[in-house]
A and B are shown apart, each in its own frame.
Chain A
Amino acid sequence: MADKADPKPSGDNRPALALHVPEPKFRPGDQADFSDIDISEPGAQPRPDEATKPEDMKELAYGLVRVLGDDNKAHGPWDPKLDPETLRTMLGHMAMVRAFDERMFRGQRQGKTSFYMKCTGEEATSVAASMALASDDMVFPSYRQQGILIARGYPLIEMINQIYSNKGDKLKGRQLPIMYSSREHSFFSISGNLATQTPQAVGWAMASASKGDSRIAATWVGEGSTAEGDFHSACTFATVYNAPVILNVINNQWAISSFSGFAGAERTTFAARALGYGLAGLRVDGNDALACYAAQQWAANRARANQGPTLIEYFTYRAEGHSTSDDPSGYRSAQEREEWPLGDPVTRLKDHLIAIGEWDEDRQAAMDKACAEEVKATTKEAEKNGILGHGLHHPFHTMFEDVFEELPWHLEEQAEQATRERKIKWPDQHPMDGAGK
């Protein structure tokens, strides 16, 4: 065994090195102060042509594209100029996401399922962004993009059946709650392994391009997961093959308890990652629904015109815990949410609609109530299919199906074993009724 080297050999006058371990600015009990965050004026950022070379729009990877001002009006060249009806639809989807999150979180606390993840504060990054895509553009989401499914009209009852892992769950109770999949809605199966979806989205886009298709792909990944090798593979393949893909990085500041500094945020922006790869990079106010829409639309136009991929950083804030298994009061200041300088995305869009005379507080209250009631009624309907661990699930044999296209002998044998065990454990139930704990 080699001896440890003397850290300071005699006669060496080189200075001692120091290891830097990042530390967030605020911990529990600290006064949160975000005044040092550089926030661009709404409307101040230029909107280049979609064919612009990445090196000619570098500043957009460091600034912040913003449309909605403190006056609640839309400003500047990034204003997507959406009609009021579209804005109300967008607000409706965001309100529905919030109502759904509230109900499902409560359902987990009531023991109806094992797990849930809210996206509170980040609704615009999925709802508004996905509304800028065509409905058949393929999305490869991470786990906090329920807003895409809601914006694409995926039935709430399918989502709840999946969350309850009940007999109505079309994923047959195999996936952790919220790991949805819907081919019909061009929504890829969600993985629990982080950033794996990013090269997959690039591969899908490469396939679409190789076939002369017109559909593009978009993927969503958290800022923490950009540290995974998969993300860098995705950026490399995207630029090498000029793939028609959009890489959306949701910078919500926190990866469970690790602040964005552990993914490199102390040194540069996540949008700036784009520049080293030769990708177009945009950094956007993620709590500004109009900016989110406009950025995604810009990137979609660029991809569809064979002008190349775009990496978009959405600067936002995870207002709640990572999941139902997380308690953020243990690692961050409770004031952060209140002090967050970019406000709340739902409130900002609502205030904008009111400011342009297309909405009012009464209509908002009525919409919030209608969303809550729809979710409540759908939840009751879904509960008829069962809740996790209380009876109704898919038949035992389905556990062995779909591992392969055809059941090989060893799985057939193991399926027989499971059926035998079931008869011993629950002798009074018919093996094929799909019931039984």
Chain B
Amino acid sequence: MNAQTNTPAPVEGEAPDTPAVSSRRINMIEAINEALDVMLGRDDDVIVMGEDVGYFGGVFRCTAGLQEKHGKTRVFDTPISECGIIGVAVGMGAYGLRPVPEIQFADYIYPGLDQLISEAARLRYRSATEYIAPMTVRSPFGGGIFGGQTHSQSPESLFTHVAGLKTVIPATPYDAKGLLIAAIEDNDPVIFFEPKRIYNGPFTGYYDSPVEPWKKHPDSEVPEGYYKIPLGKARHVSEGEELTVLAYGTMVHVAEAVCKKKGVEADILDLRTLVPLDIEAIEESVKKTGKCLIVHEATRTSGFGAELSALVTERCFYHLEAPVERVTGFDTPYPHSLEWAYFPGPVRIGEAIDKILSD
């Protein structure tokens, strides 16, 4: 089994000098804050910047207390200019820093696209390694918080399409901390999308049920100190023989809840990293189950599910017992009042599971 198991205990990484010791239950915001705190402490070249991230600590509180602890030249506010934020981060990387810019919402990242796509992603290649862009761009993404069309988008496939960018999406506090530390230490530019719907608790998609806090979930058990989870390794959420579910971010929890409710024994993979992708874990699972459901919140056409579907079909075709199914958001802007009609929730997922299992 290539994918890692769900147990929070095994600590990845190469830090015998500072082993993570005790752990306690925290939410994803606290986990991200800890990852930034750990890296600011370990590496003088790490800097954290973005709109409202300094004194105030970020609109989602991910950087709370960091400026006070690490100083104003390590953690600071920026002008409202995503182009400028990413652009100066490229220059800082060329100097030798390891910038961790925050884009306040993934929906705001577009003014910075040229600096990401034409500059950060290409720099190592075009300079034949003379210059690199070792930045990690953190940004909350996804819907489910009544953010309307400009605070709900899932633009990950715009970035997975770009040669030279890595795209990482955690689904638990444990992963958020370990993956963020790995992303910051990575020498390539990383887009780190944080599913904001599950910042405070693992959302199951049953939006009228009470919100469950992270503290009740085993994956909120997060070690103190330094540890990292390697990029490019999927996580096995559950073992099962009936079908494979490929998901990431919020949708991992929604898919898991639906399978549980339906009594379906699914092999659920939390991809964690879209580029580089853990193709071995995907192939192994699909070849075992013969059935594959892909779930993401982003719009359907040219979404990352299309890539996953093509890969599964190309590599596992003779093991498939049913057509690959995709459950996604609709190809519309994210509507404010009809958020839950848009969201690929339990009904849409349940219908797709029924279809696959009846084939």
On whether the beta carbons of B166 and A404 are closer than 8 Å, the reply is: yes
Residues of B contacting A121 with CB < 8 Å? none
Which residues of A are found within 8 Å of B149, using beta-carbon distances?
none
Which residue from B84, B89, B99, B131 sits with its C-beta under 8 Å from A189?
B131
Among B76-133, those with CB < 8 Å from A are 78-79, 81, 83-84, 87-92, 94-97, 99, 111, 114-115, 118-119, 123-132
Q: Which residues of B contact A170 (CB under 8 A)?
A: 128
Chain A residues whose CB sits within 8 angstroms of the CB of B129 once the complex forms: 402
Take A201-B91, A206-B91, A234-B84 as given contacts and tell me if A189 and B111 are in contact as well, using a CB distance cutoff of 8 Å: no
Cβ of B119: which chain A residues have Cβ within 8 Å of it? 191, 193, 196, 200
B102 to chain A minimum Cβ distance, whole angstroms, is 15
Whether A202 and B88, one on each chain, are in contact in the complex, defined by CB atoms closer than 8 angstroms, is yes
Whether A199 is near chain B, meaning CB under 8 Å from some CB there, is yes
Instruction: Point out the residues of chain A lying under 8 angstroms from B4, CB to CB.
Output: none
Given contacts A236-B84, A405-B188, A410-B277, contact A204 B126 (CB under 8 A): no
B79: A residues at CB distance < 8 A: 233, 236-237, 240
The answer to whether A408 touches B276 (Cβ under 8 A) is: yes
Inter-chain contact A210/B88, CB cutoff 8 Å: no
- B279 interface contact, C-beta 8 A: yes
**Contact between B92 and A203 (Cβ–Cβ < 8 Å)?**
yes
Residues of A with C-beta under 8 A to B188: 404-405
Contact B96 A234 (CB under 8 A): no
Asked if B125 and A229 sit within 8 Å, CB to CB, the answer is: no
A183 touches B (CB below 8 Å): yes
Q: Mark B128-145, 1 if CB is under 8 A from A, else 0.
A: 111110000000000000
Instruction: Let me know if B87 and A200 touch, CB within 8 A.
Output: yes
> Are A409 and B276 within 8 A (Cβ)?
yes
- CB of B73 closer than 8 Å to a CB of A: yes
Specify which chain B residues have a CB less than 8 angstroms from the CB of A174 in the assembled complex. Answer: 125-126, 128
Q: Is B164 an interface residue (CB 8 A)?
A: yes
Determine whether B9 belongs to the interface, using a CB cutoff of 8 Å to chain A.
no
**CA distance in complex: A199, B163 (Å):** 22
Query: Would A189 and B126 be within 8 Å (CB), given that A229-B111, A230-B114, A233-B81 are in contact?
Result: yes
Contact status A204-B95, CB under 8 Å: yes
**A196 with B88: CB separation less than 8 A:** no
B47 in contact (CB, < 8 A)? yes
The answer for the CA separation of A332 and B210 in the assembled complex, in Å, is 70
Interface size in chain A (residues, C-beta < 8 A): 44
Evaluate contact between B128 and A171: CB separation under 8 angstroms.
yes
> Is B276 a contact of A181 with CB atoms below 8 Å?
no
Q: A403–B125 contact, CB under 8 A?
A: yes
* Residues of chain A within 8 A of B131, CB atoms compared: 181, 183, 188-189
Contact B164 A171 (CB under 8 A): no
Docked pose: A182 CA to B128 CA in angstroms: 10
CB < 8 Å neighbour of B91 from A200, A405, A410: A200
Q: Are B87 and A189 in contact (CB under 8 A)?
A: no
Cα separation A237 to B83 with both chains bound (whole Å): 11
Complex: chain B residue closest to A184, CB-CB: B130
Answer whether residue B275 sits at the interface, using C-beta atoms and an 8 A cutoff: yes
Indicate whether B232 reaches chain A with its CB closer than 8 angstroms: yes
Interface residue A376 (Cβ < 8 Å from any Cβ of B): no
Return chain B residues, CB-CB under 8 Å to A206: 88, 91-92
| B131, chain A: closest CB distance, angstroms | 5
Closest chain-A Cβ to B233's Cβ sits at a distance in Å of 12
Chain B residues, CB < 8 A from A402: 124-125, 128-129
Please, how many angstroms separate the alpha-carbon atoms of A291 and B186 in the complex?
45
A204-B94, A229-B111 given as contacts; is B126 within 8 A of A199 (CB)?
A: no
* Closest residue of B by beta carbon distance from A411: B163
A349 close to B (CB within 8 Å): no
Q: Which of A374-408 contact B (CB under 8 A)?
A: 402-405, 408
Residue of B nearest to A209 (CB): B73
**Are A182 and B164 within 8 A (Cβ)?**
no
Among B84, B131, B164: residue with most chain A CB under 10 A: B84
- For A413, give the chain B residue with the smallest CB separation: B279
Q: How far is the CB of A112 from chain B (nearest CB, A)?
A: 21
Whole-angstrom CA separation of A175 from B129 in the bound complex: 13
- B89 x A203 contact (CB < 8 A): yes
Give, as a whole number of angstroms, the nearest-CB distance from B159 to chain A.
Answer: 14
Distance in angstroms between the alpha carbons of A193 and B122 in the assembled complex: 12
A-facing residues in B156-170 (Cβ within 8 Å): 163-164, 166
B contact residues around A205 at 8 Å (CB): 91
Given A189-B123, A237-B81, A402-B124: A230 touches B92 (CB 8 Å cut-off): no
Residues of the B chain whose Cβ atoms lie less than 8 Å from the Cβ of A188: 94, 131
- Do A237 and B84 contact each other (CB < 8 Å), given the known contacts A199-B91, A405-B187? yes
Q: Which residues of A contact B114 (CB under 8 A)?
A: 193, 196, 230
Q: Are A403 and B90 in contact (CB under 8 A)?
A: no
Q: Mark A231-242, 1 if CB is under 8 A from B, else 0.
A: 001101100100
Whether a CB of chain B sits under 8 angstroms from the CB of A207 is yes
Q: Is the CB of B73 within 8 A of A210?
A: yes
B95 and A171: CB pair below 8 A? no
Mark out the residues of chain A between 209 and 230 whose CB falls within 8 Å of any chain B CB in the assembled complex: 210-211, 217, 229-230
Q: Are A179 and B95 in contact, CB atoms less than 8 angstroms apart? A: no
Q: Most chain-A CB neighbours within 10 Å: which of B119, B124, B128, B188?
A: B128
Q: How far is the CA of A220 from the CA of B166 in the complex (A)?
A: 30
Indicate whether A408 sits within 8 Å of B275 (C-beta atoms), given known contacts A193-B118, A229-B111. yes
Contact with B along A413-424 (1 / 0, CB 8 A): 000000000000
Asked if A293 is at the interface of the complex by the 8 Å CB criterion, the answer is no
Given A200-B90, A233-B84, A409-B276, A189-B127 contact (CB < 8 Å): yes
Residue of A140, A210, A230 near B115 (CB, 8 A) is A230
The 3 closest A-B pairs by CB, nearest first: A203-B91, A199-B87, A203-B88
Question: What are 28 A-B pairs with beta-carbon distances under 8 A?
Answer: A138-B94, A138-B95, A170-B128, A181-B126, A182-B130, A189-B126, A189-B130, A191-B119, A193-B114, A196-B114, A196-B118, A199-B83, A199-B87, A200-B91, A204-B94, A206-B92, A207-B96, A210-B73, A229-B83, A234-B87, A236-B79, A237-B87, A240-B79, A402-B125, A403-B124, A405-B124, A408-B275, A410-B276
Residues of B within 8 A of A (CB): 47, 73-74, 78-79, 81, 83-84, 87-92, 94-97, 99, 111, 114-115, 118-119, 123-132, 163-164, 166, 186-188, 232, 275-277, 279
Give 8 A-B pairs besides A172-B128, A174-B126 with Cβ atoms closer than 8 angstroms: A171-B128, A181-B128, A183-B130, A199-B87, A204-B91, A210-B97, A408-B276, A409-B279
